[in-house]
Amino acid sequence: MALVELFGIANCDTMKKARRWLDAEGVAYRFHDYRKEGLESKTLAAWVERVGWEVLLNKRGTTWRKLSDAERADLDTEKAITLMLAHPAMIKRPVLVMGDAIEVGYSPEQYGQLQIS
């Protein structure tokens, strides 16, 4: 089985639920807190290439709402990546990476369908 990596922010409630689910299922994973550890631009660019920036950019959170109108305007791939690297809390979470597979977000049903346990 490929290495399972879980990316997000430690104190996020959704992250806590995802981690509890993985633990309960006995899934070994590495947790990467991108607020503390950062996130390489090449990693984020690879995610964007796989799932699209529209999936990864969280427009519902307070970080997005605090941006100026100019910062939120005229989004494209490059601008979205720049914003997410500057404000990691703006990346939807969790991001679960298993080899070449990437899953964004969490629900028990969603994780239950994955081939990870």
* Contact criterion met (CB below 8 Å) for 56 and 47: yes
Q: How many CB atoms lie within 10 A of CB 116?
A: 18
Catalytic residue among 6, 12, 22, 27: 12
Which residue bears the tokens 């550890």? 37
User: What's the DSSP call for residue 30?
Assistant: E
Q: 60 is written with which tokens?
A: 């519902």
Q: Is 12 a catalytic residue?
A: yes
Supply the residues annotated as catalytic: 12
